[in-house]
Structure 1
Amino acid sequence: MRIGAVNLGHPVVLAPMAGVTDAPFRVLCAEAGGGLFVSEMLTARGLVEGADKSWRMASHHPSEATRSVQLYGSDPRAMGEAARRLADDAGVDHIDLNFGCPVPKITRNGGGAALPVRRRLFGQVVEAAVGGAGRIPVTVKMRMGLDDGRLTFLEAASIAADAGAAAVALHARTAVQGYSGVARWDAIGELRARLPADVPVLGNGDIWEATDAVRMMAETGCDGVVIGRGCLGRPWLFADLEQAMRGHAPLGPPPFGVVAATVRRHVELAVDWYDDETAAVRKLRKHLRWYLQGYPVGAEVRRRAGAVATVEDVHALVDEVDPDLTVLPEAVRAPRGRTDAITRLTLPHGWCEHPDAMARVEDDLVAHSGG
């Protein structure tokens, strides 16, 4: 599948995830299998105003063949300028726009999942990003809508395509669902039927195994898949996805010895990237707990995983686990990461009353880690 000038090789995209899809994790996933590997979500305003954290998060590892960044914001001018700077100054190859994040710190400013409600403003934001990016393809990622009474995905996707979006990805949940319940894949099929054939549609939601991706594409007709929580602690999933996309049987969860080697590679990449052992290991703690998930390692090992402080601690922990351990069968499809709903949808005052209004709320300056 192609997205503009970007050839994915395999129609698989790593979803931007807050505090997860930094450069070390993207490299690890790319080493396992092919696809497109997107950065954490960045604020357009932060990039335009030169916020150091935003630009650090926008940087890529030298081994990343395709440099992909996700932006959010509700100001067309800031979005257009951020896209221009990423294309011209940072040399990125792909820009994704976030219209799916449901967390209050994003939606309270009209960003993320809130923006498609304001359809004129939404269209201008996409159009500005496409114009600023020039030859660099711009894609959009969205949810079905705020809730079942305010579904926006079909209209918003059409607006995005008309504004020049090179592809549309749909997380088949509403904003209030958050990460709870079951993704409604039929919405992905509806979207594929609505958009022109030359605009790829990617499906996202509840892909826990490579066979799920194949089934989603067969059932919905979508052109590719976006992998989020299913790869937490499981970068090897991209190898399985590559196998499945080639028509071969996936290998499934490896024995723990393979996981241990992956952990060692991860910590090596992280320390090198952050040039700070303490910070790198602290960031690795949540990954380490995910790596252990499903393996019968015992409560004490899991407790220690959340307290590692040095590279030596990490190596000692994985070295003491039996390398022949295999995942418990009931854990293969167990959800990973967040499973919560959004208890209170936070929107700017009167946001849903006038869908064609152009008024916006000023975007945050700081880069959020909350996609």
Structure 2
Amino acid sequence: MTEPGQVGVLPPLALGQHRVSPPVVLAPMAGITNVAFRQLCREQGGGLYVCEMITTRALVERNPKTLRMIAFGADERPRSLQLYGIDPEVTAAAVRMVVEEDLADHVDLNFGCPVPKVTRKGGGSALPWRRRLFARIVRAAVAAAAPAGVPVTVKMRKGIDDDHLTYVEAGLAAQDAGVAAVALHGRTAAQRYSGTADWDAIGTLKQALSVPVLGNGDIWEADDALRMVAHTGVDGVVVGRGCLGRPWLFADLAAAFAGRSDRRLPALGEVAVTMRRHAELLVDWLGDERDGCTDFRKHVAWYLKGFPVGGDLRRALAMVNGLTELDDLLGRLDPAEPFPVSTLGQPRGRTNAPGKVLLPEGWLADRDADTVPDGAELADSGG
């Protein structure tokens, strides 16, 4: 395991009237951070658990899939919603809808997504390059949220690539617009999820801003979070891929930020119990056993990463159709098999090679152009 930096117990993260303790945020992940997964993680420890990315256009047009995605648990507070938009007026309308219909208690704006279908329209991590348009969107969201006191935050990357960095300028613009906090993933869009996150850049942003700054990137263990705080001085951390197949990471993070050294290393039997709980929550949320188990399949490889489980059993679990079948398959696992410590500190989820960022034609030519590209707004949510 990595050795933690020397960090005192961090105070709660202040987001408007909300206090997030420990100062840990679950990053939105498409197809992952639904009601079921968020509840599973919340059962492990405190923090802010953000739903999947919602597009502003899909929300204001009341797309049925999107409206289902913004469901929250009855005891889920604060309810955190991430919005993706590229049109200031549509963004404002979406935030007004959130406020007027009491859909969430916190709004995060996505300026970090590196997915080509987003960047080729000028959205996500491409958008801060157009600094005037970026500022207009953030100001519109903050103004729409202000009457209800709903805090607005932004999440972004360092920039498009190493030749087109925007994070400090964008962070200052967001702060001037009135955001409650800024989160930075220490990679460029061109890096995607490759290489290592630039924690020095996160520290630079922390030094430049007076609002809370959150660090994101390469937090695989709770001790990584402590090292990031020690290295950068950030006010909290954002965790994404590190919790895939390991919702108990949030228990470790709670312990770490409380100054305790205890960490969870569940044997395979305890992992199987967590897997069953996850599938059950998905079935309850989707209202259909087959649909819930089908959605669960993508998580199997993450849960079993590093455990000596045969290929036939792995494949059967990854094709499960019902809870009774799942129970039978999980019963074939060796409950005494110890946690594979060799996987600690290792990347999880998607890792890919750097690549050229797809952008609208002429996007880099004029940083001060603030017109919204034609067809930029996405009609579907989830990344």
Under a length normalisation based on structure 1, what TM-score does the superposition of the two structures give? 0.97
- Equivalent-residue separation in structure 1 for 2:235 and 2:86 (angstroms): 28
- Runs of 4+ aligned residues of structure 1 deviating over 4 Å after TM superposition are none
Aligned-residue sequence identity (percent) comes to: 53
Partner of 2:34: 22
Aligned to 1:141, the other structure's residue is in SS state strand
Aligned to 2:353, the other structure's residue is in SS state coil
Is 1:178 paired with 2:192?
Answer: yes
How many matched pairs?
368
Q: Deviations over 1:30-54 (max 9, x none)?
A: 0100000000001001111121111
Which runs of no fewer than 5 residues in structure 2 stay unpaired?
A: 1-12
Say which is worse superposed, 236-245 or 264-273, in terms of deviation: 264-273
Q: Deviations over 1:75-101 (max 9, x none)?
A: 000101101111220331101000000
Asked whether the 8 Å contact 1:80–1:132 carries over to 2, the reply is yes
Alignment of 1:305-320 (within 5 A): 305-320=317-332
Asked whether the 8 Å contact 2:171–2:182 carries over to 1, the reply is yes
Partner of 2:78: 66
Asked whether the 8 Å contact 1:253–1:332 carries over to 2, the reply is no
Q: Deviations over 1:152-182 (max 9, x none)?
A: 0000000011011110000000001001100
Say which is worse superposed, 24-33 or 255-264, in terms of deviation: 255-264
Partner of 1:159: 173
Say which is worse superposed, 323-332 or 107-116, in terms of deviation: 323-332
Asked whether the 8 Å contact 2:251–2:264 carries over to 1, the reply is no
Say which is worse superposed, 334-343 or 98-107, in terms of deviation: 334-343
- Equivalent-residue separation in structure 2 for 1:227 and 1:316 (angstroms): 32
Partner of 1:46: 58
AA in 2 matched with 1:163: A
AA in 2 matched with 1:363: A
Asked whether the 8 Å contact 2:130–2:370 carries over to 1, the reply is yes
Aligned to 1:341, the other structure's residue is in SS state coil
Asked whether the 8 Å contact 1:188–1:220 carries over to 2, the reply is yes
Asked whether the 8 Å contact 2:53–2:381 carries over to 1, the reply is yes
Is 1:99 paired with 2:111?
Answer: yes
- Equivalent-residue separation in structure 2 for 1:162 and 1:142 (angstroms): 16
Alignment of 1:142-153 (within 5 A): 142-153=156-167
Deviation at 1:55, TM superposition (A): 1.4
- Equivalent-residue separation in structure 2 for 1:327 and 1:294 (angstroms): 8
AA in 2 matched with 1:194: A
- Equivalent-residue separation in structure 2 for 1:344 and 1:187 (angstroms): 21
Q: CA RMSD in A?
A: 1.2
Partner of 1:10: 22
Partner of 2:309: 297
Asked whether the 8 Å contact 2:193–2:351 carries over to 1, the reply is yes
Asked whether the 8 Å contact 1:294–1:332 carries over to 2, the reply is no
Say which is worse superposed, 258-267 or 297-306, in terms of deviation: 297-306
Q: 1:123 aligns with which of 112, 135, 141?
A: 135
AA in 1 matched with 2:158: M
Asked whether the 8 Å contact 2:87–2:377 carries over to 1, the reply is no
Partner of 2:382: 369
- Equivalent-residue separation in structure 1 for 2:185 and 2:310 (angstroms): 34
Partner of 1:210: 222
Which runs of no fewer than 5 residues in structure 1 stay unpaired?
A: none
- Equivalent-residue separation in structure 2 for 1:286 and 1:269 (angstroms): 15
Under a length normalisation based on structure 2, what TM-score does the superposition of the two structures give? 0.94
Partner of 1:136: 150
AA in 2 matched with 1:38: V
- Equivalent-residue separation in structure 2 for 1:24 and 1:342 (angstroms): 32
